[in-house]
Amino acid sequence: MKFNTKTIHGGQKQDPAYGSVMPPIYQTSTYAQSTPGGHKGYEYSRTHNPTRNALENALASIENGKYGLAFGSGLAAIDAVLKLLEPGDEVVSTNDLYGGTYRLFTKIYERFGIKFHFVGMRNATNIEEFITPDTKLIWVETPTNPMMNIIDIVETSKIAKRHKILLAVDNTFATPYLQQPLDLGADIVMHSVTKYLGGHSDLVMGALVVKDKELADRLFFIQNASGAVCGPQDSFLALRGIKTLHIRMQRHCENGKAVAEYLASHPKIENVYWPGFKNHPNYEIAKSQMNDFGGMVSFTTKGNNYEDAIRIVENLRVFTLAESLGGVESLAGHPASMTHASIPKKEREKTGVVDSLIRLSVGIEDEDDLIADLKQAIG
């Protein structure tokens, strides 16, 4: 089955009760038993729920995995991966990382004796020097947020396999429409379903997909034992979102390209970060591991003035000034005062998050309206 069919049918079957095409929302915590242990496969909804299972099967299918696990948020999914580790274990992670992931690693898991190395992975061979006998996990985000760096998943997976280390890829920005990390050698794919998979800014959810049965069993144990699951209503919404993932992503990519090219031609714009430009440092890797370049675009203004950036984001009318990304509507964010405000200026500037940086999640509205909006806002 090809991807555009999988988003609609992958892992799905009609409901056995009445043949409903969409799975019912099984809004129940528990299931009747005829005799102790005599049930129909479901005992308690933290462990299993038919609507969540339908979503998990769809997730496994679109990521070319075998097992999907859905969680109450993206961070809950990452948290489950970290619970595979033990005190004394080490993790090598991308350095320009989603802020919440960085906070989970450093503020929670460092306290439990796990050591993290944050490494610039633009050149995958950089990873090798941080690997010790205690390294158990490599954590990769690509494209990165908000600088749109690209990390070579195939090269990273070769390093991971050589040292027998798990490789997890946060595939939130790319989605399986653009990039399928399990096929490129990753062991675990992670999603903030909140973003493109849900696609409509109406839920918070996370997911993991794996191929290996033993790894899946360990993660299922953690999912049930720690209990950070999502509810049936949100599972239904996420499934509905996934059914249009391919057409939404196609438009996100078209609009993202148009916006990136417009900004690059604007006399007041200094840098535009988008992996589809030939002068992007890892353009060739992006081209080889992604099917297209996505709808996330960041840029800075000439003079790198904080006030200019604030004025632009305040002037936008079609783009909404808001955190998050990946919904049908276009959003704009100012990392220095929003998502990255808690990081000292010197630290954030090291990874490129300067005062005038603006990040756009380009939605699926009409391209002309988006460009006209940027034009009037930049002035």
Contact positions toward ligand PLP, by CB under 6 A? 73-75, 98, 100-101, 141, 145, 170, 172-173, 192, 194-195, 204, 206
| Residue of 52, 122, 136, 195 marked catalytic | 195
Q: Which amino acid is it at 214?
A: E
Phi-psi region of 147 (alpha: psi -120 to 50; beta: other; left: phi over 0): alpha
Q: Which one, 90 or 170, has the nearer CB to ligand PLP?
A: 170
| Spatial distance between the Cα atoms of 351 and 341, rounded to a whole number of angstroms | 14
| Spatial distance between the Cα atoms of 167 and 185, rounded to a whole number of angstroms | 8
Q: Which one, 100 or 185, has the nearer CB to ligand PLP?
A: 100
Residue sitting closest to ligand PLP (CB): 74
Q: Which amino acid is it at 213?
A: K
In the bound complex, what is the minimum distance in angstroms from residue 234's beta carbon to ligand PLP? Answer: 11
> What is the signed CA dihedral for 56, 169, 194, 375, rounded to 10 degrees?
-140
In the bound complex, what is the minimum distance in angstroms from residue 153's beta carbon to ligand PLP? Answer: 15
In the residue annotation, 46 being an active-site residue is answered as yes
DSSP reduced 3-state for 283: helix
In the bound complex, what is the minimum distance in angstroms from residue 56's beta carbon to ligand PLP? Answer: 16
| Residue of 170, 187, 234, 292 marked catalytic | 170
In the bound complex, what is the minimum distance in angstroms from residue 116's beta carbon to ligand PLP? Answer: 16
| Residue of 42, 46, 240, 243 marked catalytic | 46
Q: Which one, 62 or 197, has the nearer CB to ligand PLP?
A: 197
In the residue annotation, 195 being an active-site residue is answered as yes
In the residue annotation, 98 being an active-site residue is answered as yes
DSSP reduced 3-state for 300: strand
In the residue annotation, 373 being an active-site residue is answered as no
DSSP string, 207-246: EEEES-HHHHHHHHHHHHHH--PPPHHHHHHHHHHHTTHH
Q: Which one, 173 or 262, has the nearer CB to ligand PLP?
A: 173
Active-site positions read: 46, 98, 170, 195
